[in-house]
Amino acid sequence: MSPDLQNALTDFIPQVVPEIVLGVSACVLFLGATFRVSRHVWGVFALVALTLASFALIATIRSLPLFTEPPTTFDKSKWPLYAAPVLFTPLALFFKVVGLVTGFLLVLLSWDEGGEDHAGEYHGCLLLLVAGIGLVGAANDLLTLFLALELISLPTYLLLYLPRADERAQEAAMKYFLLSVFSSGLLLFGFSYLYGLTGTTNIPALLDMFASGQERLAPNPEASTQQPWVGVTLLALVMIVAGLGFRITSVPFHFYAPDVYQGTTTPAAALLAFVPKIVGFAALLRILGYVPGLSAFERPLGTAMGEQVPMLLWIMAAVTMTLGNILALLQDNIRRLIAYSSVAHAGYMLIGLAVVRYLANAPGESVGGVEALLFYLVAYGAMTLGFFAVLHYLDSPDRPLESVDDLAGLGKSHPSCGLLLTLFLLSLIGMPLTAGFVGKFLIFFDAMGLSSQNAEQARLYRILALIAALNAAVGGWYYLRMIGVMYLREAIDPLPRPRPAPVVATIAVCATLTLGLGLFPQSLLQLIRDALPRPNAQLVARAADEGQAVARE
Amino acid sequence: MSDAVYSILWLIPVLPLLAATLIAFLGPRLLKQHSHWPCILAIATSCVLSVMVYWHVQGAEGDAPASVASYYPWIQAGSGPYAVNIGINLRADALSSMMLVMITFIGTFIAIYSIGYMHGDPGYPRFFAAVSLFVFAMTLLVLGDNFLVLFVGWEGVGLCSYLLIGFWFSKPSAAAAARKAFLVTRIGDVGLMLGMLLLWMMYGTFNFWDVNDAEGNLLYSGIFNQVERQLQLGTLNQALILAAALLLFCGAAGKSAQFPLHVWLPDAMEGPTPVSALIHAATMVTAGVYLLARCTPLFLAAPDAQLIVACIGGFTALMAALTALTQNDLKRVLAYSTLSQLGYMFLALGCAIKFASDTNLVTFAVTAAMFHLFTHAFFKALLFLCAGSVMHAMGHVIDMRRFSGLRKVMPITHATFLCGALALAGFPLLSGFWSKDEILDACYQASQEGPYASVYFTLLVIAIFTAGLTAFYTFRAYFKTFWGEVKVPEEAFHHGHGHDDHGQGHSASHGGHHEPKTSHESPAVMTIPLLVLAVFAVGVGFVLGPLTHGFAHFLHKTPGWPHMTEEHHMNIPLMLMGTAVVFFGLGLSWLMYVKQPELPVRLAASAQGVYQLSLNKFFFDELYQGTIVTPAEQVAKLSAAVDSGGVDAVVDAVGLAPSKLGELFRPIQNGLVQFYALAMVLGLTVFLLSLIYKL
């Protein structure tokens, strides 16, 4: 075995120490839970494990270099690192941090969840999820990526099943399992085509090969779409987008969401609303090569095929947000309603993905779409987790909180809970001074502000911004309806006063984030901007030339 | 030093904000009657910091524009033509540091005075919380380096004004006055907002000035720089700039109570008197003057707007002075005098015009306006606080027909009121004299040349006449209150300084420091601020005025004001003329209210029409009620009918559409997992086909 190869196989291990810590802790939990039944012991253990993983992450940042440069340099010693299964990039760091914070919030949120006897397994699954998020963010190889995604799917099945064993929960878990396996199959199918075309599973190498292959095979972009390998690549990309579309609940892969959210418990629904979205978008960004500068590729894979993949994302965004919003209008069950709302929000986020190609063309500008998408992701996480946390806090076995009508009179009977729910709902609507507003603002602005190099594209995306604005207005209705029910209607049977619980910490953090990011968005935006490499200057200049050439024709 | 100054800049508004939050949360339960401490400490610290900033700016070399700035990028979004780049930018230049010192200095003493005045009021914490919040908003307003921060401060002071006018909200007249103030200034605010948006359309930014980073690269471009560039190149769109300037003036007129939006200020006297002194005399109402002075580069490019500003200012000065002649409420006399003096300031601002290439007058006139603003803040705050002291002693009676001869009862209040009155009247060598003279001079210079010379000459005549009226009505109030036989109203004996007339009083006596059945001077906590302010009202013009040019030299460091090429010299004949008019007004009031007290009654009877016109404030309230409020209410009723009848049906139909559309899609969600998988595959197929056969 050549030393280079050996290095490639072992050098990455220090980069995944936080994930290793989490994995080992999860094993301890699975084992320990058979010996001792206590939700508090295992809950505290999970928090300790997450804290340890955080320290491990800090140590990793201190000791390891972040990969910010593309491997085009002739420094051969770095090549094995780029061939490694994981790559510690600034963006990976961002996802790791988001994952850990989400982990803390979820452990606190589901502290009292389900039977005491399953608490250990439950928290073990949560830790595996967090490890999975970190690995997806760092994945540098199709296989790692797939494994990391499965590391999230498998515990999710358990999490849906563990806390409640009644018929509806089982049905929900079963539905999710079947469709999730199906979508994983699609994803793997897409991956296998990519491997067949290029002979590698290393993502930078793969992206490079497509870019240079296009240069070699078809210097003329018009003719390139006629090449036989282009068709196969498109097939692979559609498969991948479909497989990941399931995780981000994009139409038409969203069908499971309402049934599963309704059938399962509130903490599990909160988890399903956020975690798969993080990893789905992380994986899409990576595979479509939408994070510029990280590899030597000349053009992102998603755009090597011309306008088609952005167009596909355009359509998905428009359909997803519209369908999500209008179906949410008809719902009475809160979790089902939020399921559709999460579909709608996935649509808004897809806009951020769809505009990337065009925004990266503007010299000196930031990456645009990607940063808006990441900001929206964090904002969405804060407000949705917060909303579910308040619901869970108010929920009790004798008086379940199921339908919108159950919220009646909450503004009077539980003033602070009512106020917090209102805050999260206003943020979901996108009211100014909340995180949700800034997220929508950034996304809409990116869609509106496409450079006028390509007038037709700019018009198309302005239409998308218009659709999004109309959707935001429609969305306002069902969120406001909940606020109206809380404050304008009297409760026939008021909810009991909840006991103090660790979930309060989750609510506090989410509320602080929702308000703080609304008031001082620049703090997070700057972090995201620093995490994203700037577009390669040469690439930008060339794209601009091409744009002008097209305009002249 | 410079690093320290950056953080100081932040602290100036933030400290009062912290105090406001602290009092709002802890006041009612914990601080109670000690609620004034956070407020006074915060404002006083801000005052010290403001003075430090002032010295920093003052210490800058020569006449070059100097400023201290601090930038925080608040939000950056989009790219290309839709890029948005907004910062919370603060900058203290000469103009704003002078405002800062004035606001925090007067604010500190008014807060101290309020300890005595508000003592025992059930809303004690609420009062100090609102005052702290006001100082926060006002300092933010003058520190803002873009229109957005200025606007936040602008709306903030409006909100605090509303809260404080309606402080005794259970009194219907106070609630109505608060609503009126809020609505009328809102009309102006709409103008300001439109002006801001127009400037955004024209220049794509809210910033006043270009901002460069450490390497000298342009971070933000500023409106004023762009206007100056366009003016040089001759590419300025005159019509749009005129529109923007007038819209900004509309905002200024609302906030500074200029005709025709002046009607709210006299009613605002329903609030506690310290509020009238701080907000409705010294600081908030001058925000409009500050805005126009700040936008000097813009108004320089719109000479027609300047003419309108001058005319409105002159008219307001005259009209308000005439109204003040016959008012019987001491605070209302002072309120109309505030209107009149603000009119003077706008008149001066309107005189800032450019002759050919000579720009000396611009800087001179704006400096005159700001100088008058500065001196006026001291003597008017003083006068209001004296009126408050009188009110406090008279059991909240403020009708001058009900008391007289108070100079023996309240010696300190009497002496300080006299100082303020002399300063306001423009008695030679007192502060009002210097600043008013500069305004007259600016007016005179503007009437020397240009196409509108005759208009400015008329305004000069009006201004001189108004100076006489000012002396007359000020001393009418003084003589009626402090001279003549001692007369004290009943209420003064019932409750020493109770607030029973506000319907939420406390009958229990607090502190036995006054004998029942005798009226008394106010406590030291109230008289000491009076004495301090009196010193400033008398001396500030002498020290900083045209004799030393201290104020002018400092203010000329403001960026964007044209450099003055020659030193200004006093216009002695004009000064003498002004003095003569003042003495005439003073003498006349002495004749009418001390020597022959029956004379005013005879005069009023003989000129009944004019008297009624003035007494009823030229019927502006009735006019607005008839022409605007009543028709507006009718239109509102009509709209309500149309809305509930017609529009609602359409809206309901539109609102129904999405949910009907939803019904259409509902059957797809049938709960069958095999169907879901099939739908996914179908979706995939559609995507594939559409991509392969091109969309």
- Confidence class for position A295, pLDDT limits 50, 70, 90: very low
Report the chain A residue with the minimal C-alpha distance to residue B87. A522
**Of A190, A239, A66, A56, which is closest to residue A137 (Cα–Cα)?**
A66
Neighbours of A240 (CB within 10 A): 24
| Partners of residue B659 in chain A, C-beta under 8 Å | 326, 329-330
Average pLDDT, integer, range B211-225: 74
C-alpha to C-alpha distance for A278 and A95, rounded to whole angstroms: 8
B677 vs A: CB within 8 A:
yes
Judge whether B413 and B527 are in contact, CB under 8 Å: yes
Average pLDDT, integer, range B239-252: 91
C-alpha to C-alpha distance for B214 and B2, rounded to whole angstroms: 14
Q: What is the DSSP string of B21-77?
A: HHHHHHIIIIIGGGTHHHHHHHHHHHHHHHHHHHHHHHTSSTTS--EEEEEEEEEEE
B3 vs A: CB within 8 A:
no
| Residue B69, strand partner residues | B91
H, E, C per residue of B188-222? HHHHHHHHHHHHHHHHCCCECCCEECCCCCEEECC
Report the chain B residue with the minimal C-alpha distance to residue A229. B692
| Partners of residue A247 in chain B, C-beta under 8 Å | none
Q: Calculate how close chain B gets to A212, using CA atoms only, in Å.
A: 22
Average pLDDT, integer, range B555-560: 79
Q: Calculate how close chain B gets to A78, using CA atoms only, in Å.
A: 34
C-alpha to C-alpha distance for B286 and B376, rounded to whole angstroms: 10
| Residue B355, strand partner residues | B358
Judge whether A241 and A234 are in contact, CB under 8 Å: no
**Which residue of B71, B72, B82 is the best one to mutate when testing the A interface, meaning the one whose CB has the most A CBs within 10 A?**
B82
C-alpha to C-alpha distance for A158 and A156, rounded to whole angstroms: 5
Q: Which of B79, B668, B677 sits opposite A359 (nearest CB)?
A: B79
Q: Please name the amino acid found at residue B313.
A: G
Q: Please name the amino acid found at residue A19.
A: E
Q: Is B635 helix (H, G, I), strand (E, B) or coil?
A: helix
Core vs surface per residue B368-383: b (16+ CB within 10 A) or e: bbbbbbbbbbbbbbbb
C-alpha to C-alpha distance for A70 and A44, rounded to whole angstroms: 41
Report the chain B residue with the minimal C-alpha distance to residue A310. B691
In degrees and rounded to multiples of 5, residue A489 shows phi and psi of: -110, 150
Q: Which of B77, B680, B682 sits opposite A441 (nearest CB)?
A: B77
Judge whether B135 and B45 are in contact, CB under 8 Å: no
B665 vs A: CB within 8 A:
yes
**Per-residue pLDDT at A213 exceeds 70:** no
B667 vs A: CB within 8 A:
no
Task: Please say whether the dihedral angle defined by the alpha carbons of residues A34, A36, A40 and A42, taken in this order, is positive or negative.
Answer: negative
Return the percentage of chain A with pLDDT > 90, whole number. Answer: 37
Note the pLDDT tens digit of each residue in A349-405: 999 888 876 665 544 455 567 888 999 999 999 999 999 999 999 888 778 888 888
- Confidence class for position B650, pLDDT limits 50, 70, 90: confident
C-alpha to C-alpha distance for A383 and A426, rounded to whole angstroms: 9
C-alpha to C-alpha distance for B204 and A485, rounded to whole angstroms: 42
**Per-residue pLDDT at B694 exceeds 70:** no
B72 vs A: CB within 8 A:
yes
Q: Is A5 helix (H, G, I), strand (E, B) or coil?
A: helix
Judge whether A42 and A29 are in contact, CB under 8 Å: yes
Neighbours of B565 (CB within 10 A): 9
Tokens 């006991």, residue? A499
- Summary mean pLDDT of chain B: 82
Judge whether A343 and A320 are in contact, CB under 8 Å: yes
Average pLDDT, integer, range B362-367: 86
**Which residue of B84, B218, B684, B695 is the best one to mutate when testing the A interface, meaning the one whose CB has the most A CBs within 10 A?**
B684
**Per-residue pLDDT at A302 exceeds 50:** no
Residue A286: per-residue pLDDT = 83
Return the percentage of chain B with pLDDT > 90, whole number. Answer: 12
Residue A221: per-residue pLDDT = 52
* Furthest CA-CA distance within chain B: 105
What's the Cα-to-Cα distance from B13 to each of B42, B141, B153, B292, B678, rounded to whole Å? 9, 9, 10, 22, 62
**Of A343, A313, A361, which is closest to residue A464 (Cα–Cα)?**
A313
Judge whether B335 and B280 are in contact, CB under 8 Å: yes
**Of A279, A348, A247, which is closest to residue B680 (Cα–Cα)?**
A247
C-alpha to C-alpha distance for A440 and A432, rounded to whole angstroms: 10
Q: Are A366 and B680 an interchain contact pair (Cβ–Cβ within 8 Å)?
A: no
Q: Please name the amino acid found at residue B385.
A: L
B670 vs A: CB within 8 A:
no
What's the Cα-to-Cα distance from B475 to each of A338, B433, B468, B589, rounded to whole Å? 71, 15, 11, 6
Q: Are B80 and A175 an interchain contact pair (Cβ–Cβ within 8 Å)?
A: no
**Per-residue pLDDT at A344 exceeds 50:** yes
Residue B425, H or E segment: helix B411-425
Return the percentage of chain B with pLDDT > 70, whole number. Answer: 91
C-alpha to C-alpha distance for A541 and B11, rounded to whole angstroms: 45
- Summary mean pLDDT of chain A: 82
How, if at all, do strands B67-77 and B84-93 pair?
antiparallel
Residue A327, H or E segment: helix A308-328
Q: How many CA atoms lie within 13 A of B470 on its CB side?
A: 36
- Confidence class for position A148, pLDDT limits 50, 70, 90: very high
First CA to last CA distance, chain A: 54
Q: Are B80 and A438 an interchain contact pair (Cβ–Cβ within 8 Å)?
A: no
C-alpha to C-alpha distance for B83 and B86, rounded to whole angstroms: 10
Judge whether B374 and B102 are in contact, CB under 8 Å: yes
- Confidence class for position B586, pLDDT limits 50, 70, 90: confident
Q: Are A242 and B692 an interchain contact pair (Cβ–Cβ within 8 Å)?
A: no
C-alpha to C-alpha distance for B272 and B286, rounded to whole angstroms: 19
**Per-residue pLDDT at B517 exceeds 70:** no
Core vs surface per residue B42-73: b (16+ CB within 10 A) or e: bbbbbbebbbbbbebbbeeeeeebbbbbbbeb
Pick the residue with more confidence: A219 or A107?
A107
Written as six digits, the tokens of A393 are 């806090």
Tokens 């925000």, residue? B287
Neighbours of A469 (CB within 10 A): 14
Average pLDDT, integer, range B86-104: 86
Average pLDDT, integer, range A249-261: 90
Q: What is the DSSP string of A261-274?
A: HHHS-HHHHHHHHH
pTM over 0.80: no
Q: Which of B81, B658, B666 sits opposite A449 (nearest CB)?
A: B81
**Per-residue pLDDT at B258 exceeds 80:** yes
Pick the residue with more confidence: A377 or A458?
A377
Judge whether B400 and B480 are in contact, CB under 8 Å: yes
